[in-house]
């Protein structure tokens, strides 16, 4: 099976299609600046991370300075300002997961994917799914209650394209 057509991390800005979509988004809000977060998600989906070029374009579209865009962007943990590969694996270690195998899962995945540029393993705060622990998301799709071995198996299936992944911002492809 061939790898899915995921965007490869690039250093480019937005495409013409993105710009058209951005205009639609801006038009929905009473004030253009409110569209900043949605546009950053859009930019992240395009390149796999929020590139400086994209931030400059967004600033221009919203009538802001690039510094203001960066200021907002850098506050939010979901926006990656450097390439993170095709998959963001988020593991919760907050208290309900702390006592139910969260830290162990995080350590195992970190070790396993230490040298893998495609998989970015990060520790996150509570993901609001504490009834089945430990809680893990792969590109913001939940995969809860797995052992480290099972988790690695799921990630590998995504990598082989057997499971359809969301984008790096969690949007479903084609929606």
Among 4, 53, 66, 78, binds other proteins (CB under 8 A): 78
Q: How many residues sit close enough to other proteins to count as binding (CB under 8 A)? A: 50
Give the interface segment with other proteins, choosing from 9-17, 67-75, 110-118, 154-162 (CB under 8 A).
Answer: 67-75
Taking Cα atoms as reference points, which of 49, 117, 46, 112 lies closest to residue 82? 49
Among 75, 82, 114, 115, binds other proteins (CB under 8 A): 75
Among 14, 22, 49, 79, binds other proteins (CB under 8 A): 79
In terms of CB distance, is 9 or 45 closer to other proteins?
A: 45
51 burial class (0-12, 13-18, 19+ CB within 10 angstroms)? buried
Terminal-to-terminal C-alpha distance of the chain? 24
Question: Would you give the DSSP letter of residue 49?
Answer: S
Site string for other proteins, 146-165 (x = CB under 8 A): --------------------
Quick check: 60 binds other proteins (CB under 8 A)? no
Among 4, 38, 101, 161, binds other proteins (CB under 8 A): 38
| Cα 134 from chain centre | 19
CA 141 – CA 152 distance, rounded (Å): 15
Q: Is the peptide bond before 4 cis (omega within 30 degrees of 0)?
A: no
Helices (H), the chain: 16-28, 36-47, 52-62, 66-73, 95-98, 102-112, 148-159
Provide, rounded to whole angstroms, the least separation between the CB of residue 144 and other proteins. 11
Binding site for other proteins (CB under 8 A): 28-31, 33-38, 40-41, 62, 64, 71-72, 75-79, 90, 93-96, 98-100, 124-133, 137, 139-142, 166, 169-172, 175
């Amino acid at each position: 099976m061939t790898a899915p057509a995921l965007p490869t991390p690039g250093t480019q800005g937005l495409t013409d299609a993105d710009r058209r979509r951005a205009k639609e988004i801006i038009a929905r809000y009473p004030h253009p600046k409110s569209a900043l977060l949605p546009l950053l998600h859009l930019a992240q989906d395009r390149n796999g991370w929020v590139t400086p070029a994209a931030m400059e374009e967004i600033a221009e579209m919203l009538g802001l300075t690039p510094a203001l865009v960066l200021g907002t962007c850098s506050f939010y943990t979901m926006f990656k300002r450097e390439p993170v590969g095709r998959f963001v694996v988020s593991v919760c270690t907050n208290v309900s997961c702390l006592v139910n195998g969260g830290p162990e899962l995080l350590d195992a995945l970190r070790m396993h994917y230490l040298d893998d540029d495609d998989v970015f393993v990060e520790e996150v705060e509570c993901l609001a799914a504490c009834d089945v622990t430990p809680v893990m998301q792969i590109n913001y799709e939940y995969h809860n209650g797995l052992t480290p071995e099972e988790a690695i198996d799921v990630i590998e299936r995504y990598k082989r394209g057997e499971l359809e992944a969301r984008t790096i911002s969690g949007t479903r492809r084609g929606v």
